[in-house]
Chain A
Amino acid sequence: MTHLRVEHAGPATTVQDAGRLAWQHVGVSPAGFADPLLASLANALVGNPPEVAVLEWALHGDTLRVVGGPVRVAVAAWADVRVDGHPAPTFRSLRLHDGQVLTVGPLQQGRHGVLAVAGGILTPLVLGSRAVHARTGVGGRVLQSGDCLPVSADPARDTPDRRLPPAHLPTPANTLRVLPAPQLPLFQPNALPLLLAQPWRVLAGDRMGLRLAGPPLALLPGVEPVSEGVVTGALQVPPSGQPIALGPDRQTMGGYAKLAVVVSADLRHLAQLRDGDAVRFVAADLTMAHAARSQAHAELEAALAAIHFAHDVLPFESGRLLRLLS
């Protein structure tokens, strides 16, 4: 069976898809794509629907060997990518043959990058999803060297090389729009103005959440919040007063009060913040959140429409070069 063998695993690579949303009432974290835009673009480049399972890297990629094949892959990441040691383009689909080795180095921009494979990563479905929630082991674990990831080798799926024009590459942002949360009245009146007044520094983070550093945010005296359901993008404030922005591996409920929530269109930017980055929050309302979603959707549609055939021959494609010459 065709698979990708992990020759050298990055620090926190996982299989992700759109996540396991429907099991939150029994405590199952949704998990799923950290940056759904990167996943949509990478999947489109290999001819997949947007929610097909991909490999997601955190901070550093992997070294993967194709066993069987051929397979068609696309890397959506800002990183040095090599095939058998030759530089290979990102945001462009590549056809890899049996034995070829794809190496993705440290991510030069953003926290997460994506590898899509035509037909998807075919690890077993768990509760309807292949997304890995590493903390509880639901869906699997973080990739380790020696792992084998089953992929499809159906030649009927194969498509020509395709690339995304540079004008449509996703752009980073470190100003995120937030909506006030229902628990806002539990906070000191200056808490929301303080959140919006200056940039916050990302101290540390993973798929569960990002810890932010800045002036302390305080609850009103004597307030004891009751645990309730939480959402990805919620800025929750523990007793330290330093907010935590929740990521896709968040728990389903939380006891810390939530001051504000990042709008859904900006969650992909939240997922790309790195330790040490500065992030600013600006106030929005529901109308602005909907407009931001519509705009993000229009930009994705435009990018998908702009994907075109790539006719350049890459240095590691000796077989293809010979075919073209003959």
Chain B
Amino acid sequence: MTLTPLGDAALLVTCAAQPGAEASAAVHALAAALTAAALPGVHALVPAYTTLLVHFDPRTTDVARLSALVNSANSRRPGHSPGDPPAALRAKPAAAAARRWHIAVVYDGEDLAWVAAQLGCATADVVARHSAVEYAVACLGFAPGFAYLSGLPANLHLPRRATPRARIPAGSLILGGQQTAVMPLAMPSGWHILGRTDVRLFAVDRAAPSLLLPGDRVRFVPTDAADLAGAPPRCEVLP
């Protein structure tokens, strides 16, 4: 783990050299430990593929003080060092329980046939490949509630569109490069549209505005258009 200031109001914590499941686990565990520790002056934690960015108020704290606190919170993280975790961390688990979401989607996107043609398979094969696997939320970014999902099978990797679309509808299930996602808001996108869901990925009037959080698992459930309306996402809490 290395700590480097990013300007005078943020500390970049690098948890791994390469992205992957292990890197994500380390980033999410550190984020959970720092959330539980409620460090003074910290106003945001932004997990990414290999890093956690700690935004702080330079009026309240500084890089040296915060680095010491981050190192200390990390070393007290359960599983990191032998011995019982301190009471504060036992009372509030450092790693939130993992969740698995089942999201109903209709695979009728305007790019589905084109994607199948590019991959040299039937549209049913695209659907089968895309819905067969479980994805992991590596991080959120680009837009509110936009989750970068890792785990897209290699036989669905495709370059993005040469010209992005100016606006695609909220709820679009999309694929681009080595990633897949659901568009939370109507926004520009250069990814290919495979289908749609009516699950609201982001809503400011909910207690939890973003449906998906870093570390969550996601499965897409192929659904008939007639059955989509009102189908709520199902959430399992994983042991």
Contact = CB atoms under 8 A, between A and B. Distances in A.
A286 B8 contact: yes
A234 B7 contact: yes
A229 B51 contact: yes
Interface string B52-66: 110100110011000
Contacts, number: 135
Contacts of A263: 7-8
B185 interface: yes
Nearest to B146: A27
B8 A264 contact: yes
B67 to A, nearest CB: 11
Contact of A258 (B6, B43, B44, B214): B6
Contact of A234 (B6, B59, B141): B6
A136 B213 contact: no
Interface residues of A, number: 41
B209 A229 contact: no
Q: How would you classify the secondary structure of chain A's contact residues: helix, strand, loop or mixed?
A: mixed
B139 interface: yes
A305 interface: no
A261 B6 contact: yes
B48 interface: yes
Contacts of A179: 5, 7-8
A196 to B, nearest CB: 16
Nearest to B43: A21
B169 interface: no
A141 to B, nearest CB: 13
A21 B7 contact: no
Interface in A104-135: 126-127, 135
A258 B14 CA distance: 15
A258 B4 CA distance: 13
Given A22-B44, A263-B7, A229 B185 contact: no
Interface in A278-300: 286, 289-290, 293, 297
B214 A25 contact: yes
A127 B63 CA distance: 28
B46 interface: yes
A228 B8 contact: no
B31 interface: yes
B4 A229 contact: no
Contacts of B214: 25
Interface in B5-55: 5-10, 12, 14, 19, 31, 43-53, 55
A144 to B, nearest CB: 19
Given A27-B143, A28-B144, A290-B58, A253 B48 contact: yes
Ranked 4 nearest A-B pairs via Cβ? A229-B53, A253-B141, A261-B7, A229-B46
Interface of A: 21-30, 126-127, 135-138, 179, 181-182, 226-231, 233-234, 251-254, 258, 261-264, 286, 289-290, 293, 297
Interface of B: 4-10, 12, 14, 19, 31, 43-53, 55, 58-59, 62-63, 139-146, 148, 185, 187, 202, 204, 209-210, 213-214
12 contacts: A25-B214, A26-B209, A27-B141, A136-B187, A179-B7, A227-B148, A229-B51, A230-B53, A231-B10, A286-B63, A289-B7, A290-B62
